[in-house]
Chains A and B, each alone.
Chain A
Amino acid sequence: MGTPSESEFARLIDTLAADPHRREELTDWLREDHPVYDQRGTATVVRMRGWILLALARAGITEKSLLFVLEELDNGIDPYLVAAAASALRSYQTPNAVFAPILMRALDQIRYRDDPVSFAGYGAYAVSGDQTSPVRELLKTLLWLGPLARSVLPDLEAIRAERSGGLAKKLLPELDQTVSVIAGENRRPHRETESCCALPDNLATKLLWPRGARLSADAIESTTFEDHEGAPVTFREFFRGHPSIVVFFYTRCDNPLKCSLTVTKLARVQKLLAEQGLADQISTAAITYDPEFDLAKRIRVYGQDRGVCLNLHHRMLRTTAGFEALRTHFKLGVNFIESLVNRHRIEAYVLDCEGRIAARFERLRWDEQEVVDRAATVLNERDPAGAPAVKESAAARQVARTTVPLLGTIASLGVAFFPKCPICWAAYLSMFGVAGLNQIPYSPWLQPLLIALMLINLVSVWLRSWFTGRMLGSYLVTAGAVVILIAKIWPTWEKAVMWGVVLTFAGSVLSAAGSLTRRKQLASS
């Protein structure tokens, strides 16, 4: 069969949806690399995929197709596709609380592009505002979740309370109804629990291959690349001998939740690798889907603009020969019209030291820490003796995270109350006479040491604030340090010293808590 026309395609999808024995096939047609999308424009691909999602909405989505529906809600920006995905989700057998944050995120992303859409027929476009829209479909799906969507109730109430802008007036009755049903107590409890944040186990957002089951990379060893500096390098040269984290992107991608975010996340991955001391042992690469347009300078600027660190271990790459082999080997979720991408999924890979795929993270936004952890595990495969080292370093980081603020505060206290002379020293220690501490000689060298410790805490808090974007802790600790130092220099300020300690302590705790929250947020996203 040749390439079907759009109307033939629509009929075929209708036939599959109507046949209970063939409904499962619908999911296969959603794969980006399906030949049916080859040489179609992006708008055509949107019409086709939207029609499949609507067919799924009629036929009922299965475990297999659920991931594609959630993907569209997680990182889609096309109003028609988001609306169709929201509609399809309602056909899932059991509402689940985990869908609520995904729906809410979709609502936040699409609300400023709430264009009218039509589900009337294949390729139909709404020319009046009385048809449906992505926001309307998302609200309907949240309503379908009912009390299971309670985790997003504050967000919906915040939208309702907006004074400037806000949803269209015609959507307000639906918003009110959704809010009242979610908040309602009189609704029968669902079979599902209300615990959120765990996707169904069989949702294959990540695939891991054990060492013995990995496909050899021999077929792509000779693929040649040009890096961000224009230097040639082969797959074998760059990817052999150490594990790598690889993402795919292209600079002309107009979905900020895909390529731009992926490359930004790669920069975050690099920071995590550096923090764990793995930056020289695990390489990173961002490979463009669009090597004909994405010349060396373009990919370099694109990476640098998103904070990617570029050097011999970490490169942005464009293929100069062998892209098709690479596409086949990685089974890339991408398709093209001529040389331009018409649709692609989010995909990140961990390669082992032989360049074989050890893990793939796809479709939903991946977690940087999880990818780094996977790469670290793969690194230790090569050197089993190294395994405890990685665990130790993770444990050490955890200990450091809690002890640094504590030590910082103790140092501040030490600086604040450090005795001025041997007599004061004796008076202080006499309080600990029972423990025999009064035998310790006066040690003036302790003061600069304590000041140094206090400054280390200060720097550590500033670094943490820089990573988390929460600056209050660093401001408080800085203010605390300044107050303590002033109080030490000018005796008239002596009474303020306690405030300095309080500020330091509060700032250190806030900073540590901010770091913890940020990690949890990253994990949940």
Chain B
Amino acid sequence: MTTKKKSGKAAPKISPRAALAKATNKKAPAAERINAFTQAPLAACESDENLQKVLTVLRNKQEPVAVRLAALQSLAAAAFSAIAFEPCRNDYIATLREISQDDDPEIRERALGLLMREQDGFAQKALLDGLKKPVKALVSPEKALQLLSYDVHAEAYAAAREIVSKPPNPDAKQEALRLLAADARSAPLFEQVLRDKDELRENRQIAASALSALDPEKFQNSAREILLDRSEFEDIQATSLTALSHFADQEELAKDKPLMKSIDRLSSKAKSAKYKRSARQFLAKRDR
């Protein structure tokens, strides 16, 4: 802050109303308007007139995308205060639905993201339709899955399972697995992904985390097998070890000699110092 004052380059603080006037002034330079929007959230919902001005910028496809995104950001910030935002919410949601079909992909993505946070049925339907018919898709499949995962009640499990079995790209598969982490019936799938050494390591990590939440018992069995397997990757072994140290029956663990031996091996022979340390900590807690 001090440096900024000394250099004299800090943006002068202006009142929210003045900021809004500048932000919605088409003649002002884009950079100044974007900066002004960051100071405008409080003014955007002060009156219906102000709100309509910001919404006009947001809807106007002739405006620079960066300015429209700043307007969107400003409204999203204002929306955090549910009580103060009450008079604006109705038009805001309607506008988000409108711009979720915008030509600009980033505007579409951001609008759909904000709508999904509100568990909006319109956005959910648009995303699901896009997954079923990619020509209709408003966003990439991985983004659609990520946004659908905001609502556990979205009917996205079937679509996600299909993507896991026939992924259009690795990111989409990863997002599909993340989404299925809330689906109790996907535990067998996660068990399979976790044990599959040919699977991407990120996917196996997701599977480990999902399985430990959905079926802790199955996860503990798998984690034990992974720790006993000398050909297994160290990072997967470390994840398994962490989960066992937190969730497993500690007395049973202490009695498991083959497991202790394998953790002992990890503590001395792991390539990463970090994994060695976790294994040592695990053994030290059990006086070994």
Bound Cα distance from A116 to B195, whole angstroms: 48
Specify which chain B residues have a CB less than 8 angstroms from the CB of A42 in the assembled complex.
Answer: 151, 153-155
**Closest Cβ of chain A: how far from B2's Cβ, in Å?**
36
Question: B8-16, B116-124, B221-229, B280-288: which one contacts chain A?
Answer: B116-124
Q: In the complex the two chains form, is A116's CB within 8 Å of B90's CB?
A: yes
Residues of A within 8 Å of B, CB-based: how many?
40
Q: In the complex the two chains form, is A80's CB within 8 Å of B121's CB?
A: yes
Q: In the complex the two chains form, is A111's CB within 8 Å of B185's CB?
A: no
Taking a contact as CB atoms closer than 8 A, the residue among A125, A295, A339 that contacts B122 in the complex is A125
List A121-167 residues whose CB lies under 8 Å from chain B.
123, 125-129, 131, 133, 164-167
Q: Is A114 at the interface (CB under 8 A from chain B)?
A: yes
**Closest Cβ of chain B: how far from A366's Cβ, in Å?**
24
Q: In the complex, which residue of chain A has the Cβ closest to the Cβ of B81?
A: A165
Taking a contact as CB atoms closer than 8 A, the residue among A40, A169, A339 that contacts B185 in the complex is A339
Q: Is B86 at the interface (CB under 8 A from chain A)?
A: yes
Q: Is B132 at the interface (CB under 8 A from chain A)?
A: no
Q: Is B163 at the interface (CB under 8 A from chain A)?
A: no
Q: Is B276 at the interface (CB under 8 A from chain A)?
A: no
Bound Cα distance from A43 to B156, whole angstroms: 11
**Closest Cβ of chain A: how far from B171's Cβ, in Å?**
24
Bound Cα distance from A112 to B153, whole angstroms: 21
Bound Cα distance from A211 to B264, whole angstroms: 66
Q: How many residue pairs at the A-B interface have CB separations less than 8 Å?
A: 110
Q: Is B184 at the interface (CB under 8 A from chain A)?
A: yes
Q: Is B29 at the interface (CB under 8 A from chain A)?
A: no
Q: B71-93 interface mask toward A, CB cutoff 8 Å, 1 = contact, 0 = none?
A: 00000000000111111111101
Q: In the complex, which residue of chain B has the Cβ closest to the Cβ of A293?
A: B184
Residues of B within 8 Å of A, CB-based: how many?
38
Q: B147-161 interface mask toward A, CB cutoff 8 Å, 1 = contact, 0 = none?
A: 000011111110000
Taking a contact as CB atoms closer than 8 A, the residue among A43, A168, A252 that contacts B86 in the complex is A168
Q: Is B94 at the interface (CB under 8 A from chain A)?
A: yes
Q: In the complex the two chains form, is B90's CB within 8 Å of A115's CB?
A: yes
- With A295-B216, A338-B157 known to touch, is A43 a contact of B124 (CB < 8 Å)? yes
Bound Cα distance from A164 to B84, whole angstroms: 6
* Most interface-central of A125, A131, A295 (chain B CB within 10 A): A125
Q: In the complex, which residue of chain A has the Cβ closest to the Cβ of B115?
A: A115
Q: In the complex the two chains form, is B48's CB within 8 Å of A169's CB?
A: yes
Q: In the complex the two chains form, is B184's CB within 8 Å of A292's CB?
A: yes
Q: Is A284 at the interface (CB under 8 A from chain B)?
A: no
Q: Is B183 at the interface (CB under 8 A from chain A)?
A: yes
Q: Is B23 at the interface (CB under 8 A from chain A)?
A: no
Q: In the complex, which residue of chain A has the Cβ closest to the Cβ of B96?
A: A127
**Closest Cβ of chain A: how far from B272's Cβ, in Å?**
32
- With A40-B155, A43-B154, A339-B184 known to touch, is A111 a contact of B86 (CB < 8 Å)? yes
**Closest Cβ of chain A: how far from B46's Cβ, in Å?**
10
Q: Is A254 at the interface (CB under 8 A from chain B)?
A: yes
Q: In the complex the two chains form, is B121's CB within 8 Å of A43's CB?
A: yes
Taking a contact as CB atoms closer than 8 A, the residue among A115, A125, A166, A295 that contacts B87 in the complex is A166
Q: List 26 A-B contacts (CB under 8 A).
A: A41-B128, A41-B153, A41-B156, A42-B151, A42-B155, A43-B124, A43-B125, A43-B153, A80-B121, A113-B118, A114-B86, A115-B89, A116-B97, A125-B97, A125-B122, A127-B94, A129-B94, A168-B48, A168-B87, A292-B184, A293-B214, A337-B157, A338-B183, A339-B183, A340-B152, A340-B183
Closest 8 CB pairs of A and B: A41-B155, A292-B184, A42-B153, A125-B122, A129-B91, A43-B121, A169-B48, A293-B184
